[in-house]
Structure 1
Amino acid sequence: MDVQTDAGVDAALWGLEAAFVAYPAPRTLAGCPHCHGEVLVATADPLTLALALGNTLGTLEDLRALTPWLLRRALTDDRVDLRTVLGRIAETWADWGDLERDAVRDVADAVWSALLDTHPDAPEGATAVAMLDGLGALGDPPERLLAIWEYKEIASADHHLAELVVDAFYGARVDDAVLAWAHAAPQRERLERARDRDRRERWAGTLAAACDLLD
């Protein structure tokens, strides 16, 4: 995701930096001499950091301090994925303050909102199924994300909903709570309205297929 072109994601990332200002990021990390040795953060592979921080590289406090760095890389660097970073955060954030945890959730919400603002057939676009799986690594229930989806009464969000219904039918892994929400009457009615509204758009077939599956 190009965070420079989405004001909400960019603002959430800066808010994350502010929330972690009391935890300055280290420039170097001490690691297992047989695995890493000393690592310079500025030139380190972000996937290695996400997987090894607090284990064979650095400490859990280093992971906490580097959370803004890791999340920014997860959104801008193809070498590391968001689910990996959020999963590592969730393993260690039980002792963090509300300020830090809420700042991480704000980034997750902003990324989700940005996804819903973009049609899923956009170049390099993610699907709702994939993004929900990635954000689910935090361990939070999906209701907060579903509330954002309900608020987004726009064509791209409707298109994502239709695609999720179709993907789930063909075996994509979808949380039971999300699937129940997608099959509830308000979402069925929403998709029917979108089908009628967008019957001339290139994604009309996906909307029609989702409506058929929900009948």
Structure 2
Amino acid sequence: MEQSKPPKEVLELGRYLVRELGFEDGVDTLGRWMSHHLAELIDKAEHGKTEDERNQGQKEATETILRIWEHRASLPGKAYPLKSYENILLVLDRLRPDNDPFAYYHGDEKDRLASNLFIDMSRLIPILLLMKISQIDKPIQIDPVALDALDETEQNIMMTILKWMELFEPTSERTKITKKGNEKETGNDNYKFDRLALKIINDLNITLEKLRKELGEKRQANHKSQAQE
């Protein structure tokens, strides 16, 4: 959040920090101290006895809130919305298919198969990681005050994560008729990432088998060539 933001919006961000740092289970002593300190500054800004006291309190509160928010990535608890996902995002960034180290080689069949392995793995690992999102601590709904205070890049990342998370939200159960016609079972419409992961694993097995065969044939050819020398 930039300095040009209206003081009212900055104070709203301060109230958000007070809630997150002061009442979140497991937050350390520093977080609670920060929460109480911010609460006192905000109270002074809004309920000072004189206009001068309120103006001075507003100045101190906004400056303190903005300084704390500048270091949001290191805040305790869940005050920083992206904190739970930093490790996942790091892995996802490194496993982009366009980082294929074999893409620049125009070699033999072995290089082509190795490229296929990298691409499939770069698809499989993110799927498995994204499936973990439903198992880690995450806010069900991001506070709009915190979302608005993030910079543009952080907002884009957060919105992307929220879209992915929607794929794992359970839907209402529906009744399905089995083949027998007289038995019913319950199910849901969750996006079947497990099926996609299994398909990629099957593709990996096929590629690995081809690569094993390719390396085996090359090894036999080398042995034959050495025997003839």
The normalised TM-score by structure 2 is 0.27
Q: Which has the larger radius of gyration?
A: 2
